């Protein structure tokens, strides 16, 4: 097809602002699916995503739309909806010329809306603003349109509130107008079909029968089935065995040309071999240089996974290997801990990613894990001038070898009601944040920008933000670099034994407080044993907090229950059933929750 009749676009929206339903509406209106097939969140295909109301894996759907006597090819590229997948979002957007900016008429602009606008702007996309859910009783479409106008103006795009398209994905109202706007307002792709092949990989998925399915946007040139291709970032070479488009059901094609979007199958066995953002070219006639913006996936949250009491180490390894098949962002390597035995240090894009992996291990593989508090990767400068990356407190070199410890810093946008500014500022200061600026979206909603140490927001910051803003606050973050800080290693001793899995790296000014908190939490989590258990927090050899768990006085079934032995046995088995996810450290049983408790604030 003539590339002037192609439009490549994404739908960008905050979680739950109706992106998926709107996408389904587009499929229905263009005849890609029947009304019978039309059901909510058609594009999301994992249970977990559906439950969490988010999209983890993106995909692309091609539809045809007749307009002004011409047939247009619309390629709708889905984007992941969570901050952990920032880089993946940015690659999906790079595959587009424009995007629908969808905002819920009842919720207004939220943190992810802002983050997405910034990303789209950096990618040079044309935005079509859409106010969705206009038929909700609590909707205020005009106010939302004003917020969008303000937001776009501050990001350098002049759009009047009147330019917004008002839709209800639920009823279908405004969808026709939205489709027309896509054709009218978004530019066609500008690639050169005769140039050397450059195709952007913006997503990939694993299929049990065909191996890896690679989603590409042809930027220049033309690809044909049977051709040998090369991934420019990794250098690996494959032969294309199948190409196609999702409409939304897969449909094979013999070739893909500049401007088009589709999938490639090429006997690729592992997702790890395919990097989002990488460029595909032809082996025989390669492009001179790759597309800009590629970087390998960077894990920013690490946690150690140990097999739970009913799981064996090899089972855990096998399950992680299986997960890796369709989650290329996950990393893991074997480790051993004095306290915990053998396990894996796992790397994740962010906290949500970590939770998803943990849940998938449990649901899809029946694997129980005991997991340590998540940590961020630190850059450590040694006295000898070398730098090492440390992603676990236990790996931190001895204090006398350290020159400085640098921690990852993130730029955070917080959108909060203006009456909550004070509470949010206090919360941010408590987390060592550096204030950047305030921007009023409207008279009662404001964007607060800060720089935070990543370590301060990975665990419970979002919950705290929610409670400081009566649930209205939203946040988004982006890694901005590393910075040296006065960081120390805090050790925890249970029954006089240092539990390496409980050690954390924290700022010196907070060490005393954190130490006391951790010890107090541990005291609650560890149940009484037959002996007294001292708990201590220490920096080096200096003990900064101490508590004692008293010895168990009584745990006995005094009466005999006549000959009803079964009843007595069941009572005892019940006592033990509550002790799942325990780890023996020395002679002390430490529950899984205790390992996470070290990161929780009050």
Which of these segments, 16-24, 153-161, 533-541, 574-582, binds other proteins (CB under 8 A)? Answer: 574-582
Residues 461, 453: Cα–Cα separation, whole Å:
12
Q: How large is the angle between the packed helices 141-154 and 111-123, nearest 10 degrees? A: 40
Strands 198-207 and 387-390: unpaired
Which C-beta is closer to other proteins: that of 323 or that of 526? 526
Q: Is 564 in the site for other proteins (CB under 8 A)?
A: yes
How far is the C-alpha of 378 from the C-alpha of 407, rounded, in Å?
A: 5
**Least separation, in Å, of the C-beta of 539 and other proteins?**
31
Q: Could you give the angle at the alpha carbon of 305 between the alpha carbons of 369 and 342, nearest 5°?
A: 100
Q: Hey, how many other C-beta atoms are within 10 angstroms of the C-beta on 228?
A: 12
Which segment (124-132, 370-378, 490-498, 524-532) binds other proteins by CB under 8 A? Answer: 524-532
Residue 522 to residue 18: CA distance in whole angstroms: 42
Examine residue 398 and tell whether it contacts other proteins (CB under 8 A).
Answer: no
Q: In angstroms, give the least distance from the CB of 281 to other proteins.
A: 59
Q: Which is nearer to other proteins, 382 or 572 (CB)?
A: 572
Helix or strand (DSSP H, E) at 5:
none
For other proteins, which residue of 235, 437, 558, 602 counts as binding (CB under 8 A)?
Answer: 558
Instruction: Pick between residue 96 and residue 582 the one whose CB is nearest to other proteins.
Output: 582
**Site membership for other proteins, residue 531 (CB under 8 A):** yes
What is the rounded distance in angstroms from the CA atom of residue 597 to the CA atom of residue 586? 20
In the complex, minimum distance from the CB of residue 568 to other proteins, in angstroms, rounded to a whole number:
7
User: If you write DSSP's letter for every residue of 526-549 in order, what string do you get?
Assistant: SPP-SS-EEEEEEETTEEEEEEEE
User: Does the footprint of other proteins cover residue 568 (CB under 8 A)?
Assistant: yes
Reported as half-sphere exposure (CB side, CA atoms, 13 A), residue 181 has a value of 20
Of the candidates 431, 410, 404, 433, the one whose C-alpha atom is nearest the C-alpha of residue 481 is: 410
Q: Is 532 in the site for other proteins (CB under 8 A)?
A: no
Q: Name which of residues 428 to 487 contact other proteins (CB under 8 A).
A: none
Of the candidate residues 156, 587, 591, 592, the single one contacting other proteins (CB under 8 A): 587
Helices (H), 228-346: 313-325
Q: Can residue 542 be called a binding residue for other proteins (CB under 8 A)? A: no
Instruction: By CB under 8 A, tell whether 557 contacts other proteins.
Output: yes
Shortest CB 522 distance to other proteins, Å: 19
Position 572 contacts other proteins (CB under 8 A): yes
Q: Does 581 bind other proteins (CB under 8 A)?
A: no
Nearer to other proteins, 29 or 529 (CB): 529
The reply to whether 310 sits near other proteins by the rule CB under 8 A is no
36 near other proteins, rule: CB under 8 A: no
| Residue 114 dihedral angles phi and psi, to the nearest 5° | -60, -45
Q: Out of 156, 530, 541, 602, point to the residue binding other proteins (CB under 8 A).
A: 530
DSSP calls for 431-470: TT-EEEEEEEEETTEEEEEEEEEGGGTSSSHHHHHHHHTT
Q: Is the peptide bond before 561 cis (omega within 30 degrees of 0)?
A: no
Which CB, 440 or 561, lies closer to other proteins? 561
Residue closer to other proteins by CB (options 397, 586) is 586
Could you tell me where the DSSP H helices lie in 308-349?
313-325
Within 10 A of 231 (CB to CB), how many other CB atoms are there?
22
What is the bridge-based pairing of β-strands 70-77 and 6-13? parallel
CB of 588 to other proteins, least distance (A): 11
| Span from 265-273, 399-407, 475-483, 529-537 in contact with other proteins (CB under 8 A) | 529-537
For residues 70 and 66, give the distance between their C-alpha atoms in angstroms, rounded to a whole number.
Answer: 6
Which CB atom, from 292 or from 573, has the smaller least distance to other proteins?
A: 573
- Judged by CB under 8 A, which stretch of 118-126, 252-260, 381-389, 527-535 contacts other proteins? 527-535
Asked if residue 438 lies in contact with residue 447, where contact means CB atoms within 8 angstroms, the answer is yes
Query: Between residues 237 and 565, which has the closer beta carbon with respect to other proteins?
Result: 565
Alpha helices (H) in 326-372, listed in sequence order: 351-365
Of positions 288, 333, 576, 602, contacts other proteins by CB under 8 A: 576
Q: State in angstroms the smallest separation of the CB of 551 from other proteins.
A: 9
Query: Residue 35 or residue 554: which is nearer to other proteins going by CB?
Result: 554
**CA distance linking residue 537 with residue 531, whole number of Å:** 20
The answer to whether 234 contacts other proteins (rule: CB under 8 A) is no
The residue within the footprint of other proteins, chosen from 35, 235, 556, 602 (CB under 8 A), is: 556
Judged by CB under 8 A, the number of residues near other proteins is: 25
**Single residue of 138, 400, 541, 555 touching other proteins by CB under 8 A:** 555
Under rule CB under 8 A, residue 496 binds other proteins: no
Q: Does residue 548 touch other proteins according to CB under 8 A?
A: no
CA angle 386, 392, 394 (to 5 degrees): 90
Q: Quote the tokens at residue 527.
A: 């149940």
CB atoms within 10 A of CB 459: 19
Per CB under 8 A, residues contacting other proteins are 529-531, 552-560, 562-566, 568-569, 572-573, 575-576, 579, 587
């Amino acid at each position: 097809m003539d590339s002037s009749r192609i439009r490549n676009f994404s739908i960008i929206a905050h979680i739950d602002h109706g992106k998926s339903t709107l996408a389904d509406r587009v499929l229905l209106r263009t005849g890609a699916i029947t009304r019978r097939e039309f059901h909510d969140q058609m594009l999301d295909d994992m249970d977990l995503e559906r439950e969490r109301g988010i999209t983890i894996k993106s995909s692309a759907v091609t539809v045809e739309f007749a307009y002004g006597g011409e047939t247009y090819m619309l390629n709708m590229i889905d984007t992941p909806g969570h901050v952990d997948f920032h880089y993946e979002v940015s690659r999906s957007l790079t595959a587009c010329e424009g995007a629908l900016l969808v905002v819920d008429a009842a919720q207004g602009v939220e943190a992810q809306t802002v983050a997405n606008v910034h990303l789209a702007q950096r990618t040079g996309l044309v935005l079509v603003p859409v106010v969705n859910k206009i038929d909700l009783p609590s909707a205020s479409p005009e106010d939302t349109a004003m917020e969008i106008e303000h937001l776009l103006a501050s990001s350098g795009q002049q759009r009047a509130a009147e330019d917004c398209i008002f839709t209800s994905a639920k009823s279908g109202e405004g969808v026709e107008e939205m489709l027309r706007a896509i054709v009218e307002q978004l530019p066609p792709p500008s690639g050169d079909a005769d140039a050397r092949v450059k195709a952007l990989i913006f997503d990939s998925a694993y299929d049990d029968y065909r191996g890896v399915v690679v989603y590409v946007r042809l930027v220049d040139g033309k690809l044909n089935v049977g051709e040998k291709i090369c991934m420019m970032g990794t250098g690996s070479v494959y032969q294309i065995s199948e190409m196609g488009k999702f409409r939304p059901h897969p449909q094979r094609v013999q070739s893909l040309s500049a401007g088009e979007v589709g999938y490639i199958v090429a006997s690729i066995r592992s997702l790890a071999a395919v990097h989002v953002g990488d460029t595909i070219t032809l082996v025989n006639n390669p492009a001179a240089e790759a597309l800009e913006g590629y970087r390998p996936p960077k894990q920013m949250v690490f946690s150690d996974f140990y097999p739970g009491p009913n799981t064996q180490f090899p089972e855990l390894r096998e399950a992680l290997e299986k997960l890796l098949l369709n989650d290329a962002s996950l990393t893991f390597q074997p480790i051993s801990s004095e306290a915990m035995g053998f396990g894996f240090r796992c790397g994740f894009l962010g906290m949500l990613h970590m939770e998803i992996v943990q849940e998938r291990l449990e649901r899809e593989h029946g694997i129980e894990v005991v997991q340590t508090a998540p940590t961020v990767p630190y850059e450590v400068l040694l006295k000898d001038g070398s730098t090492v990356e440390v992603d676990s407190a236990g790996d931190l070199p001895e204090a006398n070898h350290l020159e400085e410890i640098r921690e990852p810093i993130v730029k955070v946008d917080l959108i909060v009601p203006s009456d909550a500014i004070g509470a949010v500022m206090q919360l941010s200061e408590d987390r060592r944040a550096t204030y950047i600026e305030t921007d009023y979206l409207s008279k009662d909603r404001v964007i607060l920008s800060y720089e935070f140490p990543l370590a301060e927001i990975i665990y419970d910051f979002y919950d705290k933000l929610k409670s400081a803003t009566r649930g209205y606050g939203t946040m988004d973050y982006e890694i901005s670099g590393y910075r040296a800080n006065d960081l120390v290693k805090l050790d925890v001793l249970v029954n006089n034994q240092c539990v390496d899995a409980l050690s954390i790296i924290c700022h010196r000014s907070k060490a005393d407080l954190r130490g006391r908190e951790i010890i107090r939490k541990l005291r609650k989590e560890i149940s009484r044993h037959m002996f007294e258990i001292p708990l201590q927090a220490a920096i080096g050899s200096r003990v900064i907090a101490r508590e004692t768990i008293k010895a168990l006085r009584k745990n006995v079934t005094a009466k005999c229950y006549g000959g009803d032995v079964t009843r007595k046995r069941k009572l005892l088995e019940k006592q033990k059933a509550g002790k799942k996810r325990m780890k023996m450290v020395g002679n002390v049983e430490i529950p899984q929750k205790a390992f996470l408790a070290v990161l929780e604030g009050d």
